[in-house]
Amino acid sequence: MRISEVFYSVQGEGSLVGVPSVFVRTSGCNLRCTWCDTPYTSWQPDGSDRNVESLLQETLSHGARHVVVTGGEPMIAPEVGALTRALRDAGLHITIETAGTVYTEVCCDLMSISPKLANSTPHARDGGRWAAQHQRLRYNPDVLRRLTRDFPYQLKFVVSAPSDLGEIERIGAERGAATESVILMPEGVDPQTLRQRSEWIVEVCKQHGWRFSPRLHVDIWGNRRGI
């Protein structure tokens, strides 16, 4: 399977923020978010071919109990099912970071679903040539229903502006999601932007009973790769 990087860090987002975790980042994505913070897995995908055994051994070498399979979109990786089974057999806690547009048979302890809102559509980027495909694929309610039925989950939304809130409310209501399973985090790739957006997003979370998530890795290291 095509792998962009493997690294040991702490989880920077969501309900497990701060937990030491090994990140296995697949390369390749079916979407093209305009603000994508890992363009080396989507807009300009890179990486190398790795087999499941080598990924398992590298993951185990760090001694962590948690592993995060992320991307890109890991649910389109051909061997992601085999990888998660190997990780499960090794006794690791598995988080999968997905946009929730593709269903694949996997082993997973936390399905971290980040439905892509209208703010993600790349109307101008790369001449807009991805806009129609992205808009068509970015939200798949049938897949989202299956994922939230079959796995423990969190719905993690990247928020740019107050205009995003109606879409978040609708998706949460459609899924019957508990308020504590809905997580809002600010869009941005630098600490200053995150701080500015965090102030009003925190107030929104207080009003709705949703969770607020920082983007800890950006706060600490900026938008750097492999940490």
Q: Is 32 exposed, middle or buried (0-12, 13-18, 19+ CB in 10 A)?
A: buried
What average pLDDT does this structure show over 90-117? Answer: 99
Beta bridge partners of 69: 24, 96
SS3 assignment, position 152? coil
Closest CA to 2 of 37, 61, 33, 42: 42
Domains of the chain, residue spans: 2-155+213-221
Q: Could you report the per-residue pLDDT of 152-163, keeping only the tens digit for each?
A: 999 999 999 999
Q: By C-alpha distance, which of 18, 32, 24 is closest to 1? A: 24
pLDDT in tens, 116-126: 999 999 998 87
Confidence band for 226, pLDDT divided at 50, 70 and 90:
confident
41 contacts 27 by C-beta, under 8 angstroms? yes
For residue 140, what pLDDT is reported? 97
Q: What value does the CA radius of gyration of the chain take, rounded to a whole number of Å?
A: 17
Question: What are the pLDDT digits (tens) for 187-205?
Answer: 998 999 999 999 999 999 9
Quickly state the pLDDT bin for 225 (edges 50, 70, 90): confident
Write the class of the CATH domain 2-155+213-221. alpha beta
How large a percentage of the chain has pLDDT more than 90? 91
Task: Tell me the average pLDDT across 21-49.
Answer: 96
Q: Determine the Cα–Cα distance for residues 169 and 71; give it in Å rounded to an integer.
A: 26
List the one residue out of 98, 94, 47 whose CA is nearest residue 73: 98
Whether residue 213 contacts residue 13, with contact meaning beta carbons closer than 8 Å, is answered with yes
Q: pLDDT at residue 60 above 90?
A: yes
How far is C-alpha 55 from the geometric centre of its chain's CA atoms? 20
